[in-house]
Amino acid sequence: MKVCSARPGSEVIRLWCEQCAVGRSVPGRWAAVNRGGGAGSVHMCRSLFALCSVMKCVSVSVSVLLPLLLLLLCYRPTDGVQLTDLRLNSSAVVSVDVSAVIRRVEQRFLSVTIDASLAADEKFMFLLSSPKIRTLARALTPAFLRFGGTRQDFMVFTPQRPQQNSGSTAEQSCDKLELPSWLEDRLKKEWTQQQVNLMREDLQRKYRRMKFTEYTVDLLHSFTNCSGMDLIFGLNALLRTADNTWNSSNARSLLQYCESRQYRMAWELGNEPNSYEKKAGIRVDGYQLGQDFTRLRKMMSESKFYHEAGLYGPDVGQPRDHRTDILEGFLQSGADAVDACTWHHYYVNGRDTSLEDFLDPEVLDTLALKTKEVLEKVKLLSPGKPVWLGETSSAYGGGAVGLSDTFVAGFMWLDKLGLAARLGLDVVMRQVFVGSGSYHLVDENLDPLPDYWLSVLYKRLVGPEVLKIESFSSFARSKRVRLYLHCANKKSYRSGAVTLMSMNLSGKPARVSVPALVSSSSTVEAFVLQSDQPGEEGLYSRSVTLNGDVLKMVDDRTLPDLRGRRLPPAEHLQLPAYSLAFFVVTDARAAGCL
């Protein structure tokens, strides 16, 4: 009989032959084959395609061919970590080494931002006094809170009252500074129209000068002080003199006010200087920018209160066409002025992206390419200088409406956290915690979105110590199942525990076998995040479930219990379709985590 004839027992072979033939003959169809089983299925298809091609003209018994097929389908290596697709039974070996830490990130690795656009109309800064928003922020500590963005370079400090009567102080009770519920509701309604106005400015690239008073600074400091975050305030770098050097007089006035109030904070200067010409018609090269930072550092050193405060920059945009001109010039003249070198990264343009981009491993991997370019430049010109992602999210231009604020955004976010730590970035600042755009963690009604809950789980479960996990097989190269390994957070688990961060970008479930860590005697806690709706449509949802339960606040001051589910004894871990998961092996006794 022919191999692909419809005789009993040959149906499986016929389907495999057809799928592989289509995948091989039609450009782009290998990706379709991959969705079920990754690149390992491509390798298997190639073998089967060759087998089918030979058999087309040869009469062979199914009883002869089936053992060969089963051997291909059922072969499993015995060491390392196995990733097994439940539909195609493809497997791959992933090596783990928990004997030593390969990298250690900052305790405030996952940090957040508030965009300066919130102060475009100063009354909206009072939203930061909401008990609900403070409760949500407190769950993300320890963390930096960076106040900055495009509009920081159009902000001018304009004091309104004498310093001796300047309102709130660092010592005031947080309870006394809470926003009344009636005012919160009013501001939330008015914020809807304000976002439209801000979006219009962004599209037209016409930014007006923004005056801000002591209230903005008071409210920011109160928010970070009462939530436990560490404030980084972005200064305006587009205040220039006739010879195009930075005019520091307004910044000096602001520092003097903050010092009079004893506000502990760190500083930045400017936002994405590579775009100054487009948004303001002013060109500032990297070398001049470095000199501006040196001037700011000198001004800080003359302050009794801020002489040891942090200074970070230059907050350049990501490298384009492999060019890092501004960063290079800055490091030549200003590297010694900053405590960390900051840059920004976004995967896609929010105005023309798609659901497929958010699930595309090749899109996710662009972070590695950009990061390596920045790290190489910093290592060459300022060895040992920490490098931070000073602003980052899924899509630039305010995010992608209906994507950046939904469940699917979690794949970009968790992968960025895992990959950034492994590559050597010390801090990752998520744009934004709350405010303008659609890439926020907390929406316009001050309700937490899926990426917020993902961030809280990361904070509770993942420690700063990065462990080695490495894939070798063709299946792993599909990268639709992505894994990162850290020591578990020692505030939540005893020493020696590890946390496996896992994500399945495929519409089919996968099975992860970890013989080096997980056996029938291991204790594993699972925290599996899925959309509250099934299938691909669920990726657009703004709600998320943890182990099957929808996550939402109990009330404005209380988060739900985020409990893991203890898994029954097993040799493998289940990873559902389109899921994000943290598996904590509490009794791993990892030497690198003791």
Task: Look up residue 551 and give its DSSP letter.
Answer: P
Determine whether 470 is an active site residue: no
Determine whether 259 is an active site residue: no
Q: What are the DSSP calls for 421-462, one per residue?
A: HHHT-SEEEES-SBSSSS--SB-TTSPBPHHHHHHHHHHHHE
Single-letter amino acid, residue 489? N
Q: What separation, in Å, do the N-terminal and C-terminal C-alpha atoms of the chain show?
A: 62
Per DSSP, the three-state class of 511 is strand
Q: Are 355 and 408 in contact (CB under 8 A)?
A: yes
Per DSSP, the three-state class of 335 is helix
Which residues on neighbouring strands pair with residue 97, listed in sequence order?
Answer: 468
- Quick count: other Cβ atoms within 10 Å of Cβ 200? 10
Catalytic residue among 106, 268, 391, 444: 391
- How many CA atoms does the CB half-sphere of 112 hold within 13 Å? 26
Catalytic residue among 184, 272, 444, 465: 272
The CA distance from 108 to 428, in Å, is 9
Nearest by Cα to 419 from 330, 479, 474:
479
Tokens linked to 417: 């956290």
Cα 465–471–475 angle (5° rounding)?
140
The CA distance from 429 to 250, in Å, is 26
Burial class (CB in 10 A: 0-12, 13-18, 19+), 537: exposed
> Per the omega criterion (within 30 degrees of 0), is the bond before 434 cis?
no
Cite the active site residues.
272, 391
